[in-house]
Amino acid sequence: MPRSPSRWRTSRPIGFRLRFFRRDEWKGMKSPGMSSHRAAPFFVEGRESWASEYGTLLHNLPNIALRFDFLSSYVPALSAPGSRLRVLDLGAAYGYYASVLQLHGHEIFAMEWAEDAAAAAALRLGKDRVFHQSVAEPFPLPADSVDLIYAFDLVEHIDNETVERMLVSCERVLGPNGVLVISTPDNGIRARVVFKTLGLAVPRLPELLFGPDHVNLFDAARLRKMLERTMTHSRIVDIVSTNFMFGRYPIASVVDRFVLRAFRASANLVAIVRKER
């Protein structure tokens, strides 16, 4: 995979931390009415710790830099000096990723359903740049008007119908050769072990392994099928397992590339789709 010079590097170090479950995940699993299957979403706006868990822009800069380094491998214009892309951020939360691209000269639009997050993003990006709506609704942008769309850590929080509506809208607004990038947790091995071996025999085991607000689990094959079924005028460039967190740790990167990815056990599953016409 080609690499392009980074414009996203920061001097802030990345803290490498091993953990099993977040404190709020345990709290969610103990809450009354939590289902033992992947059905209704545990919506993020209902989590008191959401804002504090998400952190500040400064706290997120290392992760933002790693993800945009990765994207630049497929969309070199993203980091090319003087380039200006029209970019749509789906599930933009507080607008951190979009604000970094905006500072680098790109024209940014963002979409966010959570009211408090959308309001914060509007203050950061400009009110006319943020659409407070669900990704299931038609996108308020003209056809063939966007160069790049990315949805980081979004599709695992929404149901199949919403994902499919989102993909149809993405294909409509992408211009020729426009690129869609989707990242989601890679649940290939974990999903097979839990659901094909144990099923629901162990109460609340899915919540323990996947988190209470992840209601849609993807592996590479399932994500590919959904993309091929809904984006009929586009081509899947790549679907890769990766771990953005390992980007600045050479030894960990080697392990991720040659061991974890081979067994589909990396943290992230990333799909890159290019519109052909």
How many domains, in total, are found in the chain?
1
Whether 167 is covered by a domain: the verdict is yes
Contact of 146 with 233, CB cutoff 8 Å: no
Residue with tokens 């933002």, as numbered in its chain:
64
Q: Which residue has the higher pLDDT, 147 or 243?
A: 147
Q: What is the pLDDT of residue 60?
A: 78
Whether 130 is covered by a domain: the verdict is yes
Average pLDDT, the chain: 75
Relative orientation angle of helices 96-103 and 115-125, to the nearest 10 degrees: 10
- Each residue of 122-143: pLDDT tens digit? 999 999 999 999 999 999 999 9
Q: Any idea what the Cα angle at residue 215 is, between residues 92 and 62, rounded to 5°?
A: 40
Whether 222 is covered by a domain: the verdict is yes
The pTM of the whole model exceeds 0.85: no
Q: Rounded to 5 degrees, what are φ and ψ at 11?
A: -90, -5
Whether 206 is covered by a domain: the verdict is no
Number of H helices, E strands in the chain: 10, 7
What domain range includes position 123?
44-184+213-275
Whether 52 is covered by a domain: the verdict is yes
- Each residue of 162-202: pLDDT tens digit? 999 999 999 999 999 999 999 988 776 555 555 555 554 55
Q: What is the pLDDT of residue 217?
A: 78
Whether 133 is covered by a domain: the verdict is yes
What CATH number does residue 259 fall under?
Answer: 3.40.50.150
- The three state secondary structure string of 222-261 is HHHHHHHHHCCCEEEEEEEEECHHHHHCHHHHHHHHHHHH
Whether 162 is covered by a domain: the verdict is yes
d(CA 162, CA 265): 26
Whether 110 is covered by a domain: the verdict is yes
Average pLDDT (92-103) is 93
